[in-house]
Copies of this chain bind each other. A is one copy, B any other.
């Protein structure tokens, strides 16, 4: 398949069709389109056009489109729909997507929408899901699953399953519960189909411990478990082991992508989830705080250098190398912290903090020696002053070792304190390393040059 590519022509065509209200043409143009593609189009329309389309098309198409839209567009569209229209969209959605959308509505609207939902069971499931924190397994899970009681016989089971499966798009597993709704095992379709119809489920199900997660588990943990064990769905249990929902891999793919984007943005000094197409104001809010931090770091570095001003007359060259020192301190710090942040995210840091710091110091020493040797030769050749070349090069080694130490220690420390270590990468580490680097550089240079 060639993936759908939204062209300017198609967009113009749709805008014109909306303009002149050619409803039949719009329906035939958009009717067979995948909801994810249609969402791309709606994201580019203005509020009125978008609302017009959503109202025009059937809610079994548009409900899925709504789940894929950018938050601000969805909010605008829902603001233009009546509670009855919203309820119709909700009716078509799986409980997890329905709850996500309802959670974004104002509180008084929520109550009205819920009361307008015709399928009362569906409404109850959604209300159940609204109780859970968005950033938890409970906030990710859907109520749609196939479960059977271990006391049922195979025939009841098949009948019940048929009723349940109507609402479940993809049956990944048949979960077996006891009379207290506790998850006790899993049933394979094959076993079910080959057993006699009067046999009770407890005699055919697989009692082996089922992989499951607790409702309050963090999404990143669920993602780790599902991707480590290659699961396509995982049941969710409450505090006392009752089966309350299930999470499917497509939601986890989104979690993994969002986590990765967040860490990447933090490392680049962007503090909120922004995209290239957000407004200049949103982008500024995400970027400016880190730049202000960098600005104060630079002011700090300048304030330090003032204290070494007496060296400027005789050794002006020292001051020409401060950008180099700051850059190396920053680069080494970012490298070290990034490796630790990734190790923490993947749970593959073994051994003690002490050993890790010693390893990083040895690594920094090795890199520092190589870099210092290059720098020594470059400056010596350029300035024909061995002592100044030596002073700058030895300082560089010290700066790199300290930068590596800080870059390794900071994320480990933050993680121990329960703070997201990813904030330690990027501007945070470069700014603090700039300052430490400049201090160490001038102190060592002063010592060697004997001023």
Contact = CB atoms under 8 A, between A and B. Distances in A.
A349 B256 CA distance: 21
Interface stretch (A47-55, A122-130, A358-366): A358-366
Contact of A257 (B170, B227, B295, B338): B227
A206 interface: no
A263 to B, nearest CB: 6
Interface string A231-253: 01000000000000000011011
Contacts of A108: none
A305 B299 CA distance: 19
Contact of A276 (B349, B426, B430, B431): B349
A301 interface: yes
A321 B339 contact: no
Copies in the complex: 2
Contact of A339 (B34, B213, B270, B349): B270
Nearest to A288: B367
A228 interface: yes
Contacts of A230: 36, 250
Contact of A298 (B321, B332, B339): B321
Interface secondary structure of A, over-half rule: helix
A302 B284 contact: no
Interface in A49-104: none
A94 to B, nearest CB: 11
A435 B169 CA distance: 57
Interface in A320-337: 320-328, 330-332, 334-335, 337
B36 A228 contact: yes
Contacts of A20: none
A211 B425 contact: no
A447 interface: no
Interface stretch (A21-29, A140-148, A149-157, A371-379): A371-379
B44 A294 contact: no
A297 to B, nearest CB: 6
B277 A348 contact: yes
A267 interface: yes
B350 A295 contact: no
A378 B300 CA distance: 11
A211 B1 CA distance: 6
A265 interface: yes
A327 B297 contact: yes
Given A292-B374, A331-B290, A316 B323 contact: no
Given A276-B342, A280-B359, 11 more contacts: A249-B253, A264-B338, A265-B342, A268-B335, A276-B349, A277-B350, A283-B363, A295-B328, A298-B323, A298-B327, A330-B330
